[in-house]
Amino acid sequence: MRICYPCALVAMVIGGSLSDTVAQPYYYPLRQPDYYGPPPDSSAPGGYYRQPSPSYVTPPEPPAAIGAPAPAPAERWIAGLPAEDQPESNQSAELPPQFRRQLVAYASAEPAGTIIIDTPHTFLYLVLGQGKALRYGIGVGRNGFTWSGTERISRMSKWPDWNPPKEMIARQPYLPRFTAGGEGNPMGARALYLGNTEYRIHGTNQPSTIGHFVSSGCIRLTNEDVQDLYSRVILGTRVVVLPNSPPISASAESGIAR
């Protein structure tokens, strides 16, 4: 095969020139007004700046943000939950005095260990016997969703998942079909399931609803109170739910619980 030496020589010269061109760095003029990079490169002709390489450094946090505490879980928006089920920001707010957990005088024919739901007054009593009971403030079913009867605790769960029953979804189709247990779950820290019903005694992340008629029939306590109640009862505990009769007078009420 014949080789064209003149052509090869020309190609080598051109290739060498291109490689020199690629290897040569590009320099910005020394007095470029909008460049505030490193000091001039001493090896560059005339003290020019070398072309800066791209920087991917994340800008520093503003001083005010450094060390700032992360928001509490209750201050975060829980994806999938409607606005009315979002956790309240102040989980440590104190309840009104009458709804705080307390030992009270309570006359009842029910044996010790029984739970009594006083629907009209939004109280839950854990009967202790000898005329005493632990009283908790609760939230109960809103108008048209209260109920009465006797059940037994059929299941107990810590940080339960929430699966809204089909009846609730039919009324509120925007509800999530499932919410995993945790601090943002509307079921709260504990749940006591009542018989084969859809009703439960459970916690809540909305302490301001205690003392109100707000639920779809479930009985809600603060997370602190439901954990306390959970530690005091067992499977099979009898639960008596009183009907939502008109509230009795203050004088009569004082004879039931003080």
The catalytic position among 4, 121, 202, 212 is 202
User: Which residue in the list 4, 7, 121, 218 is annotated as catalytic?
Assistant: 218
Q: Where are the beta strands (DSSP E) in 22-147?
A: 27-28, 49-50, 102-105, 115-118, 123-129, 132-137, 140-141
The number of residues in the chain equals 258
218 is catalytic: yes
C-alpha 48/C-alpha 29 separation (Å) is 5
Whether 212 sits among the annotated catalytic residues: the reply is: no
Q: Which residues pair with 16 in a beta bridge?
A: none
* Sequence-ordered list of residues with C-beta below 8 angstroms from that of 175, at least 6 positions apart, any chain: 82, 85, 164, 168, 169
- How far is it, in rounded angstroms, from Cα 245 to Cα 172? 28
Contact status, residue 40 vs residue 48, Cβ threshold 8 Å: yes
Closest CA to 149 of 41, 89, 238: 238
Residue type, 6: P
CA dihedral over 113, 190, 85, 80, signed as positive or negative: negative
State the CB neighbour count (10 A cutoff) for residue 213. Answer: 17
Catalytic residues: 202, 218
